[in-house]
Amino acid sequence: MGRDGERGRRWVLSTGRRVTEADDPERVVAPEPITLHECRHSFASLMIAAGVNARALSTYMGHSTIGITLDRYGHLMPGNGQGAASLLAAYLARSDIAARLAQLEPETGANAGVRDSESAL
């Protein structure tokens, strides 16, 4: 018996309802088993999502070169597609703000006040 006094295996239907073998074996659809190869790809995908860099992932996966890792999983790496466009847009926005702030900063050094003295004449 299970923890809840239920017998047999337990599943969650696509409707979200929890069932056991004892409930209705006709309606229960067991999940499809995945292969070791699919587990390997899942591992790599989860590592990338967790932020592991390509070099470390290449080592963990046993690839002989980082190029193999990038060829296989490069599309999952951050900074691709829309992500790259967003990063560029953010960079340009920061650059524009920095340039505007530089224009607003008061002058310092040997040339400070030169414009003020000239305008007073």
**At residue 34, does pLDDT exceed 60?**
yes
Give pairs for 49-57: CB < 8 Å, separation 24+.
Answer: 49/76, 51/78
Rounded Cα gap, residues 68 and 75, in angstroms: 13
Rounded Cα gap, residues 28 and 43, in angstroms: 28
pLDDT digits (tens, 9 = 90+) for 38-64: 999 999 999 999 999 999 999 999 999
Any residues with CB less than 8 A from the CB of 25 and at least 6 apart, and which?
none
20/111: higher pLDDT:
20
By the 8 A CB rule, do 82 and 90 touch? no
Write down the domain spans for the chain: 10-76, 79-107
31/63: higher pLDDT:
63
* pLDDT (average), residues 3-12: 59
H/E segment holding residue 58: helix 54-61
* Residue 78: closest CA among 42, 44, 43, 50: 50
